[in-house]
């Protein structure tokens, strides 16, 4: 009988241990596994949000670079096309190109500024190749130049030419410059 009692106790302890394990599994391990699964899903969701955020940050950085590049272009444009006629700057550009090309300036006159252009008449003398070099230098100048009229004559008993040019240097009229500045300020402030 003692053997049966001890085997019944062992079976009872085993059943209780099994029941305790089942209760432990049902009330502790299953909820923890479920919460781990939920946490894992949340981590995946946050990782996707992080990747989306990183791509947005990269897009913003590229946009900032594009804006900075555009600002430099706008600043260069402001130098290339001033907000006033600036005939003195145009004359400096012309005389610099003439001296670099090796031609002599015989006369220069500032005409009327109208419709966004400053007119300047410019007469030179020099060799044909040097006159072509002068025109190439003017063409490569930062401030654009329009040649409205030109006359080239040969000088008697000389290999030199005399040339007269009428140039039109553009400028942004004050009203247009103010509008462009306001638009640039609004874009920079947003």
pLDDT higher at 84 or 108: 108
Range with the poorest average pLDDT among 68-72, 94-98, 165-169 = 68-72
- Per-residue confidence band for 34, with pLDDT thresholds at 50, 70 and 90: confident
Contacts of 169 by beta carbon, 8 Å cutoff, 6+ apart = 85, 86, 87, 90, 117, 118, 119, 120, 143, 144, 145, 146
Amino acid 177: pLDDT:
46
Contacts of 91 by beta carbon, 8 Å cutoff, 6+ apart = 108, 110, 120
The kind and range of the H/E element at 105 are strand 104-114
Give the Cα separation of 79 and 186 in Å (integer).
Answer: 21
- Per-residue confidence band for 174, with pLDDT thresholds at 50, 70 and 90: low
Amino acid 186: pLDDT:
56
161-170, strands of its sheet edge to edge: 104-114, 117-126, 161-170, 146-154
Q: Is the pLDDT of residue 31 over 80?
A: no
- Tokens representing residue 30 in the block: 């299953």
Q: Is the pLDDT of residue 98 over 60?
A: yes
Give phi and psi for 99, each to the nearest 5.
-70, -35
| Domain boundary assignment for the chain | 1-80, 87-175
Q: Is the pLDDT of residue 99 over 90?
A: yes
Answer CATH for 87-175 from 3.10.580.10, 3.40.630.30, 1.10.510.10, 3.30.70.60: 3.30.70.60
């Amino acid at each position: 009988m003692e053997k049966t009692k001890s085997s019944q106790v062992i079976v009872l302890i085993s059943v209780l241990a099994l029941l305790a394990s089942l209760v432990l599994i049902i009330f502790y391990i299953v909820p923890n596994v479920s919460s781990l699964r939920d946490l894992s899903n949340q981590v995946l969701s946050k990782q996707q949000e992080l990747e989306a955020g990183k791509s947005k940050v990269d897009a913003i950085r590229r946009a900032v670079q594009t804006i900075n590049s555009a600002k430099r272009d706008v600043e260069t444009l402001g130098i290339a096309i001033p907000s006033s006629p600036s005939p003195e700057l145009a004359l400096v550009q012309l005389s610099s190109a003439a001296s670099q090309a090796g031609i002599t300036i015989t006369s220069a006159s500032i005409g009327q500024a109208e419709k966004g252009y400053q007119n300047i008449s410019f007469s030179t003398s020099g060799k044909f190749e040097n006159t072509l070099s002068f025109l190439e230098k003017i063409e490569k100048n930062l401030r654009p130049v329009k040649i409205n009229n030109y006359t080239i004559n040969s000088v008697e008993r000389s290999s030199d030419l005399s040339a007269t040019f009428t140039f039109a240097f553009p400028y942004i009229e004050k009203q247009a410059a103010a509008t462009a500045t306001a638009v640039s300020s609004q874009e920079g402030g947003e």
